[in-house]
Structures are given as structure tokens and as C-alpha cells.
Amino acid sequence: MVIDDADILKFQELYKQHFGMEISREDAYEKGLKLARLMSLVYKPMTQEEFDRTQERRKASLIHNN
């Protein structure tokens, strides 16, 4: 995966705003890659069927806990 220069600069800006510290281009690139990798591992779109099953489990849980 490649992160372009504009995204690296934006990441540096956001990092400074959030943490109050400036980071180097290299650190921003590395942290950006790690964040992108984490998101690709964690985020998985649901199918409508998976969403419907999740909703049914939530409803059942609410009924069972009351």
C-alpha cells in the first residue's frame, strides 16, 4: 500500500491537532500505513443477511434481559 504526499501531510496535521505533537514525514507514513492496515483488518462490510441476523439477536437479547 502506498500513501501519497497529500495524505501524509493531512495525517501530520491531524496528528498534531489531536495529540499536540508534530511528527516527521517518515513517522506519519508509518503510522498511516499501520492505521490503514488496522482498518482493513477490522472493517468488513455486512451483507443484508448478516445485518438482519444481528438485529434479530439484539431484539432477542432485549426481550430476554427484561
Q: What is the pLDDT of residues 7-48, one digit of tens each?
A: 999 999 999 999 999 999 999 999 999 999 999 999 888 899
pLDDT over 70 (residue 66): no
Q: Residue 65 CA to chain centroid, in angstroms?
A: 31
pLDDT score for 62: 84
Task: Provide the residue count of the chain.
Answer: 66
Angstrom distance (rounded) from CA 12 to CA 1: 18
Q: Where are the domains of the chain?
A: 5-65
CB 10 within 8 A of CB 31: no
